Amino acid sequence: MRTIALAVACCAMMLVVAHDAAARERNEPVAQVEVSKPATSLPGTRYAWVEMPAQLAVEFDKRVQDPKLRTRLQAALDKALRGKGYRRVDSTQQADIFVAYRVGVRDVQQATVRDNGLQSARETAIGCGGGGCSQIVTQGPNGVPTIKIDTVDFVEGGLLFEVLEPGQIRVLWRALYRGSVRAKGAAPINLDTVASKTLAALPKAGAAP
């Protein structure tokens, strides 16, 4: 694949590989897609892949540098593009548009303070001071104030997909799909789902401007 220099206006990226409901149950970020560069149509139906060089630390993680994962991910994106009416060509000289992606992951621990609720909390379970009372401070062993905090370990990541105009450093369409997957005990990643959701807002091939 041809390597090109790209100016990407995007901060930390995160690969989303979890269902929304499951993420909510674990107090993890809910999967979401952000289209930062929308379009109503694209020039032509033929596309070719170009390499988008890794730039951020999360992109050099060995989990997303795995050749097998990247092959599966690109195949899933090819499938989603076919579903939109686009046709892949191997030569960049024959392509109407270029497509590229970046992917990254990082380990995250999220802390959530447990709220007992003022109505149900016992008077001794409410810590009071000069600034008022707190529902999250309870009496621990030997009367020592204790804050109840739950922590969840998960992998946060994202997939950035861009459509580029051949011959120019100009982005025609861009979407970032981000969320989380548990680091341990996670179900297999459904990359077809990730790809189709990422490209859901991509204009269909031949759409009128």
Q: Half-sphere exposure of residue 102, counting CA atoms within 13 Å on the CB side?
A: 24
Query: pLDDT value at position 84?
Result: 98
Is this structure's pTM higher than 0.75?
no
Q: Is 88 in contact with 50 (CB distance < 8 Å)? A: no
pLDDT category at 83 given cuts 50, 70, 90 is very high
Q: Give the chain's mean pLDDT.
A: 74
Count of CB atoms within 10 A of residue 208's CB?
6
| Residue intervals in the chain for CATH 3.30.160 | 9-110+152-198
Res. 12: pLDDT tops 70? no
pLDDT category at 185 given cuts 50, 70, 90 is low
Res. 62: pLDDT tops 50? yes
Res. 6: pLDDT tops 90? no
pLDDT category at 180 given cuts 50, 70, 90 is low
Res. 17: pLDDT tops 90? no
The answer regarding whether domain 9-110+152-198 maps to CATH 3.30.160 reads yes
- Percentage of the chain lying above the pLDDT 90 cut: 39
CA of 126: how far to CAs of 28, 61, 116, 141, 149, in Å? Answer: 28, 44, 9, 15, 15
Q: Strands 46-51, 87-88: parallel, antiparallel or unpaired by DSSP? A: parallel
* Interatomic CA distance for residues 195 and 102, integer angstroms: 13
